[in-house]
Amino acid sequence: MQPTNYQQLTRTFTRLARFGHLSAIAGWDMYTMMPPGGSQARSEALAELSVLQHQILTDQQVGDWLEEAEQEPLDCLQRANLREMRRHYQQAAILPAELVEAKSLAGSRCEHAWRSQRPANDWQGFAPNLQEVVRLSREEAAIRADTLGCSRYDALLDIYEPEMTSARLDTLFADLQSWLPQLLQQALEKQAQHPPVAPQGPFPVEQQRALGLEVMTLLGFDFEGGRLDVSAHPFCGGVPEDVRITTRYSEDDLFSALLGVIHETGHARYEQGLPREWSGQPVQLARSTAIHESQSLFFEMQLARSTPFLKQLRPRVLNHVADRPAFNEANFIAWNQRVKPGLIRIDADEVSYPAHIILRYQIERALIDGNIEVADIPELWDQKMQSWLGLSTRDNYRDGCMQDIHWTDGGFGYFPTYTLGAMYAAQLFQAARKALPTLESDIAEGSLNALFDWLRQNIWQHGSRFTTGQLIRNASGEDLNPAHFRHHLETRYL
């Protein structure tokens, strides 16, 4: 019997998913285990794989199948899958294969060099590599914008966050800027009345790792389908059946690595909770980058920094790390809920964190639109950091504009999804609180299954079946409403 057009498409996308699996694991290895000498060969191999995937996806026959499948009798789930297939096809078909390969190679080179250039504070060495990535990203943005009929930056933003535009971001971020600086100042003044005491190290890496693994278990991570490793920049990668998360350790700071593990575990639980019965199909994938980020921030900020969870966490910390005066319960909670503006984004508290994102959004948007050049980044970064947080990064590139990995591979349009994710996370936690009247006491007792079941039912199991807007409306009863984020911050910190 001749397969239908839709069946031909599902076979093609299953094949693409398998290549994507190999690419994800090879990428994870490049960031964690690969010796430096393997960089060039691995970059070329991954570029070759990306070109192969691009060729399969953009074959004219795939376009024909997409057109014909529209006329076939499909159920609601298949229609959603077809919608996502078309989106993947259109995103890829816009670009020539040569650009896909060039961008992959440039990104791999830039990221590999960044690993040694960042610790050396070597902006002069890093800038030429970044300039090439920016050049290719601008070329990609121009092609996408011409096809989609939007601005260059919006064309890149659409890759990560469908339905979102820079105009909508400007509105959301302008609202944040109208009240967040005052809230930050009030939180700092309140905290100054009883400043928390810093835990004194050293905290051996072996103890930190054991603690992280125990907390991952508490948070429901499936070790049969994933693992924890070390990388220069924490991330979650792999595939739903084999999720790889990483952190980085400092013997001077116990909580940086631990909260990084909790953050990445949130990403991982989302991946592990995606619908396996749709494996290999676009409809199985996470809905969007902001929804993905909402899950990691749900775990790290909404849950793990809450007072009930910190009371549950403290004895687990003491099981692995020798007791210290700073670990008395009141100080333990205060330290993990402290507000302290700093230079490093991934270590930022949740009140000052949006400043880091808006800064990057404004710079990368101007960069892609051609209003600034790579050489302008350090000075702009310093100006915006001083304006927002009163901190200077002049001549400190390592802790300024070189601290993130995202721009090294051309991930422009990604950063706004972090603060969108924080807004979604606050809204979802509020919805979960309404649905689960005993949530606070459950968390205090370490009983988290009801909360995770709620996430599974409302977010994880749906993959990309619904649009982002519909997913959030179904889960919370309303569209994205940043008022929940403000209410959360005011309640916790004021």
Annotated binding site: 263, 267, 293
- The enclosing H or E element of 214 equals helix 205-218
Give the residue ranges of DSSP H helices in 408-482: 416-435, 439-444, 449-458, 468-476
Euclidean distance between CA atoms 130 and 489, whole angstroms? 36
The H or E element spanning position 239 is strand 236-239
Tell the burial category of 187 from Cβ atoms under 10 Å away from its Cβ (0-12, 13-18, 19+).
buried
Instruction: Dig out the tokens for 377 from the structure.
Output: 């980044």
Closest CA relative to residue 322, chosen from 220, 199, 408, 190: 199
Has 373 been annotated as catalytic? no
Give the whole-angstrom CA distance, residue 346 versus residue 361: 16
Binding residues for Zn(2+): 263, 267, 293
Query: What are the beta bridge partners of residue 227?
Result: 244
d(CA 223, CA 215) in angstroms, rounded, equals 12
According to DSSP, residue 194 is labeled S
State the Cα–Cα distance between residues 378 and 127, nearest whole angstrom. 10
Q: Which of 111, 161, 264, 364 is catalytic?
A: 264
Number of residues written out for the chain = 494
Active site residues: 264
